[in-house]
């Protein structure tokens, strides 16, 4: 395996950051997870836009532009002989001192890892996932807005630990007001009386690329979609429930807090969306080839 590290392709053991890098010391940095299918990167422009928006939000200057970043992704995939891949983009604040002042970090690190990923066992896509609502709450948006996809994922990790210690593979987070937000690494949808519902961005979610793609698919299939607040009770009485994310794609949820969701099996609407999403990822309409970086081109070399 070769890692893209500040413009060079190096073995993993040579892709090293300093112990004084603020990404390591304080989680000061950003990342993206992207998928490639059959040699094409899925929704690359949307992912890169979100990466550079996250950078602007925390006043982090990415030292290469979107066009260069896109080319670097393909270069790394090709170097590793990958056509179907999980891609992790990482930008750290860079080397500083033991203080918090980010102005002392003058050289951000840009890292690209391309590999394969299987977040959940294959059988769960047919049988569905058991989940619980986590005791750990989502940090309030005025404290740390999750729309910035930062390297500080401790809030999500603590919720994941809640689930694993209780014997569940996944946890669903609530915000301090008790509204459902998302799972530890995925967005969440419920189906109730024929309407597909997902939490709005302002409640404390990462506005997922897969989430938005699934909403578009549902509307195209004539399924009503609403972004609105809902609580734990709505999870318990939902007809269907599923998670969406780059790594998991669409994962049915069949149980929440010991209560079956709907029939306790993946529902028909979930199954239709799963099939439609698989088709989307393999279609030219849903993917970006190397030559299709028009949206990234012309945006400038810095965030």
Q: Which of 43, 149, 160, 228 is catalytic?
A: 149
For the chain, the first-to-last Cα distance in angstroms comes to 29
181 within 8 A of 240, measured Cβ to Cβ: no
Q: How far apart are alpha carbons 297 and 261 in whole angstroms?
A: 45
In which region does residue 236 sit, left (phi positive, over 0), alpha (psi from -120 to 50) or beta (all else)?
alpha
Q: Which residues, at least 6 apart from 46, have a Cβ–Cβ distance to it below 8 Å?
A: 209, 212
Q: What is the DSSP string of 154-206?
A: HHHHHHHHHHHHTT-SEEEEE-TTSBEEEESSSEEEEEETTEEEE--GGGT--
- Decide: 190 and 238 in contact? Cβ < 8 Å: yes
Tokens of 18: 């300093």
Tokens representing residue 89 in the block: 């983009």
Task: Answer yes or no: 160 catalytic.
Answer: no
Hey, which residues are catalytic here? Answer: 149
């Amino acid at each position: 395996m070769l890692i893209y590290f500040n413009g060079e392709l190096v073995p993993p053991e040579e892709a090293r950051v300093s112990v004084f890098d603020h990404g390591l010391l304080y989680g000061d940095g950003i990342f993206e997870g992207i998928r490639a299918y059959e040699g094409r990167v899925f929704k690359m422009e949307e992912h890169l836009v979100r990466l550079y928006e996250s950078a602007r939000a925390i006043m982090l200057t990415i030292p290469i532009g979107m066009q260069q970043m896109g080319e670097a992704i393909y270069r790394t995939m090709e170097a590793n002989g990958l056509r179907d891949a999980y891609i992790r983009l990482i930008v750290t604040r860079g080397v500083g001192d033991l203080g918090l002042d980010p102005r002392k970090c003058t050289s951000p690190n840009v890292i690209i890892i391309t590999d394969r990923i299987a977040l959940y066992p294959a059988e769960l896509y047919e049988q569905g996932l058991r989940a619980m609502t986590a005791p750990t709450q989502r940090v309030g948006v005025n404290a740390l807005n999750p729309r910035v996809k930062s390297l500080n994922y401790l809030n999500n990790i603590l919720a994941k630990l809640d689930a694993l210690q209780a014997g569940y593979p996944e946890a669903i987070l609530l915000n301090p007001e008790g509204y459902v937000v998302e799972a530890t690494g995925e967005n969440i949808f419920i189906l109730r009386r024929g309407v597909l519902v997902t939490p709005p961005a302002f409640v404390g979610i990462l506005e997922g690329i897969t989430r938005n793609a699934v909403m578009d698919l549902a509307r195209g299939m004539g399924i009503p979609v609403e972004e609105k607040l809902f609580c734990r009770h709505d999870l318990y009485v939902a007809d269907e429930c599923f998670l969406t994310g780059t790594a998991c794609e669409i994962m049915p949820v069949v149980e929440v807090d010991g209560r079956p969701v709907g029939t306790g099996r993946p529902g028909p609407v979930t199954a239709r969306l799963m099939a439609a999403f698989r088709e989307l990822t393999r279609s030219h309409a849903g993917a970006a080839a190397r030559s299709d970086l028009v949206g990234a081109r012309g945006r400038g070399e810095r965030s």
